[in-house]
Structure 1
Amino acid sequence: MSEIINNSQKRKELLKHMILQLHSGEAPELVRARLVELLKSIPYDEVVEVEQELIWEGLPEEEVLRFCDIHTAVLDGHIDQSGARSIPAGHPVDTFKMENRELEKVADELQQLFGIVPYLKDKEVKDWMIKVHGGLNSLMDVDKHYLRKEYLLFPFLEKQEITGPPKVMWGKHDETRELLKTAIEAVSAEGQVTAEEVRTITDMLLVPAVQAVIDMVMKEEEILFPMAMDKLSDDDWYHIYQQTMEFGYCLYDPQVEWKPEGISVSDIEYGIKGGIQLSTGSFHQDEMEALFRTLPIDLTFVDKNDKVKFFSMGPDRIFTRNRAIIGRDVRNCHPPSSVDIVDRILDDFKSGRESTAAFWINFKERFIYIEYFALRGSNGEYLGTVEFTQDLTTYRKLEGEQRLLSYSKK
């Protein structure tokens, strides 16, 4: 027995075998009993490694997602976190965990409300549903918590070649969102609802929604967060920390700032090396060229000195441009009859009186929309003007909806 308990590879092989037993239909309680008997507990990082290996070996991610809750139930309370790193106050993981505490408080309040459902009378239903609706609305704030994982944390795990577990967890996020949405709709129903109907709604919709949130807390704190703390560097976490406010917080407002020693904002590079670095990512030059060629708009940029600095060159450009206009005064790029309009736009943009100006014209039997935007720096200073031109002829003919995939033929 000790050779299994003390051997990582043997533990993982046994856990993998047990998970496959679950997928083949073995009763979860029997598998859990064997796990407790043979392994007592399993380190959090090995749980992630086993799940990733199973996906690499061909177990479909959809199958892992389908059995994810059973895995959780079997492993709950038997994951060894003794080797987990400590988490400093204000760290992104600290914030995630503090949000979980708030989610648990709301979930506990809702479960107490569910507990009185068997004794609920028809005349008490309305007040009960109002309270439940408020609690579910609070739980729906978990969307921001999940978004930060999906768009900030998961990309860094993928760079460490940990791809399967994040995809599975993202799938569980979507399931939870849908459960919460359906639960909220159920308690928002208009008209008279009986106590008997409430009992059905609670069992079928409300309890599963709240349980999904609770289960995710366990998955995060016993597996995801300890593993992420091991895999990500302080630089990675500072990336995440700096961008967290773009998504917002869930039921919790951090009061402590976190900054790892020896790192400043200027030390953080977004994107890939060797590319064109921007604040939200980066491009290689060929990628950026392709982007501007592909956009369904024509773009021209005029700098703060009224000189043409850039224009996009797509295959169907509406108004002719050539590189001879680069560095030219924008007034000289327009016919004399429209120079006064150009001057007025530039003057209004520079003064701050206006920031947009739109025109639409019929040109060669096409409906063309032209819009100018003032570009301003972080302190509001004028940086230049950008012109967007788009052919809206086809879009004006659209009716109804298109929700199914259909490739347009041009």
Structure 2
Amino acid sequence: MKKTLDLKKSVYELIQEYPEVVQILSSVGFSEVENKVAQHTVAKVMTIPQGAAIKHIALGHVIRAFRKAGFAIEGREEVGFAGPEVAKNREERKAELKKMLLQLHDGIPLEQVRQAFIRSFSHVEAAEIMAAEQELIQEGTPIEEVQKLCDLHSALFHDAAGQRVQNPEEVEQMLRNAYEETGHPLRTFKRENDVLRQAIVAVKEDLAKGTDAGASLGKMADLAIHYAKKGDLLYPLLAQKYGVTGPSKVMWTVDDEIRRDVRLLQRREFHEEIWREEVKTLVQRAEEMIYKEEHILFPICVRTFTQADWVQIYKDGEDYDPAFSLPAEVWAAATAGKAAVLPEGWEDGKIVMPGGSFTVRQLTAVLNTMPVEITFVDEEDVNRFFNEGPKVFKRPMAAIGRDVYSCHPPKIEAMVRMIISEFKAGRRDKVERWAERKGKPLFVTYFAVRDRDGKYLGTLETVQDMQFAKDHFAGRS
């Protein structure tokens, strides 16, 4: 029986039709396809050509593997587009984007190039546009040039005919589900965008009425938090784990420009006509970025990230200030896993901790590099650790393993006992004091060290030479 591999079908459909597809794809670099969860999520909305572009795997290499396994290939050059005048396959599509970049470089008006972009790409899936851009980057096209394509993306936002970058219905449903799930990171990003839209409308209304837009512009300031989360939580994960580098190399730079312009325009004292024009341009770019997020970035994320990825994004997102004063939502799917044991211990010659891992050599060097003297006393009041290097308060290594109180003269011992007893009782978490030795100002801090459940583990003392700060401020005065 003839086996036919239709490249227009999703990976999921191909697996259902030919189970051996899993092993063939895994053998050429798609190891994720062996994961049953991936087969029933990402694989349902991903074709082999799309996956090859994202993973930086030559499609020809994949096709050869299937042909070797006895498959005939169909659908390689067939893609459904808006009309007869648009690009028909990936190579034509990439060539069309290059042509548009050259037109912009040669001074062809942006609006004229926009219309060509709409004709060629209005019915193309978002991931396809991003993949084509990514290939341009890989071929050496300057990032600054590829950034101009962001302006072409916005053509689909402004098009009066209502044409849009398309996403498969499965992806649209995945987005709707995420937006409706209380606490899901994409829902949080969407809520922030909704508030930002309102702020943009307020700025536009002020500009239209000729009133000062300074206060309204101030309400957009928290987009800096929104963009920071994108830059820290989404772009690197797409690029490093999944090989989707387009957003991190193109959209990220635009984010920084918008954030910078908000800050600079807020600082401007006089709101003359040129300021108003700059604000008008700014809000247009911010509005377009909302569209790019919701129709290009978020669909790529929702079709690519695993549930474990989203849980980690949620947990990391808790470290950021709320954007636009939106109350934080609890995501049940993530909090249900909080009882799980966090990684810690010894593995492959490394000390494994919840925040990462060190070799002993690395950890020792890090602790010795810190510009503070460190002493750790455990819960039984025994000296357990000093970092190395010159010290104002000498700490002989012979003191390791000794009772901490035996290392202090009587008048200091009483203070040490008082501090530690306060820590153990939970009445205090930190004690600070200033001291001076050999004319140098020292800042000494005692910290109660507790685990995640609040259990007392010991006391940490840090001593920092503050002469650098004294010199700095003396110089300024």
Classify the TM-score, shorter chain.
0.7 to 0.9
Q: Which residue of 2 aligns with 1:236?
A: 309
Residue 245 of structure 1: which of 318, 326, 330 is its match? Answer: 318
Q: Which residue of 2 aligns with 1:184?
A: 266
Q: Which residue of 2 aligns with 1:100?
A: 193
Amino acid at match of 1:137: G
Distance 2:347 2:131 in 1: 29
Distance 1:245 1:260 in 2: 11
Instruction: Quote the offset at 1:243 in angstroms.
Output: 2.6
Amino acid at match of 1:370: V
Does residue 356 (structure 1) correspond to residue 426 (structure 2)? The answer is: no
Distance 1:399 1:244 in 2: 36
Distance 1:215 1:206 in 2: 14
| Structure 1 stretch displaced more, 287-296 or 161-170 | 161-170
Secondary structure of the residue aligned to 1:26 is: coil
After superposition, the Cα gap between the structure-2 partners of 1:330 and 1:92, relative to the gap in structure 1 and judged at 3 Å, is same
Instruction: Quote the offset at 1:379 in angstroms.
Output: 5.0
Q: Which residue of 2 aligns with 1:285?
A: 360
Instruction: Quote the offset at 1:250 in angstroms.
Output: 3.0
**Equivalent pair of 1:239/1:268 in contact (CA under 8 Å):** no
Q: Which residue of 2 aligns with 1:223?
A: 296
Q: Which residue of 2 aligns with 1:79?
A: 165
Q: Which residue of 2 aligns with 1:124?
A: none
Query: TM-score normalized by structure 1?
Result: 0.79
Residue 466 of structure 2: which of 388, 392, 405 is its match? Answer: 392
Amino acid at match of 1:390: Q
Higher relative contact order (CA 8 A, sep 6+): 1
Amino acid at match of 1:342: V
Does residue 140 (structure 1) correspond to residue 213 (structure 2)? The answer is: no
Amino acid at match of 2:255: H
Distance 1:11 1:372 in 2: 63
**Equivalent pair of 1:28/1:74 in contact (CA under 8 Å):** no
Instruction: Quote the offset at 1:396 in angstroms.
Output: 2.4
**Equivalent pair of 2:153/2:292 in contact (CA under 8 Å):** yes
Distance 2:135 2:341 in 1: 32
Instruction: Quote the offset at 1:149 in angstroms.
Output: 1.0
Does residue 259 (structure 1) correspond to residue 333 (structure 2)? The answer is: yes
Distance 2:137 2:319 in 1: 32
Secondary structure of the residue aligned to 1:29 is: helix
Query: TM-score normalized by structure 2?
Result: 0.69
Q: Which residue of 2 aligns with 1:213?
A: 286
Distance 1:208 1:284 in 2: 50
Question: Alpha-carbon deviations, 1:116-175, whole Å to 9, x = none?
Answer: 22xxxxxxxxxx43xx34422221122221121122222312322334522432322222
Distance 1:185 1:390 in 2: 36
Secondary structure of the residue aligned to 2:141 is: coil
Secondary structure of the residue aligned to 2:401 is: coil
Instruction: Quote the offset at 1:249 in angstroms.
Output: 3.5
**What root-mean-square deviation, in Å, do the aligned CA atoms of Structure 1 and Structure 2 show?**
3.3
Percent identity over the alignment is: 31
**Equivalent pair of 2:434/2:444 in contact (CA under 8 Å):** yes
Q: Which runs of 5+ in 1 are unaligned?
A: 118-127, 190-196, 403-410
Residue 116 of structure 1: which of 209, 224, 227 is its match? Answer: 209
Distance 2:139 2:123 in 1: 24
**Equivalent pair of 1:303/1:309 in contact (CA under 8 Å):** yes
**Equivalent pair of 1:372/1:386 in contact (CA under 8 Å):** yes
Distance 2:432 2:203 in 1: 51
Distance 1:234 1:343 in 2: 48
How many pairs were matched up?
377
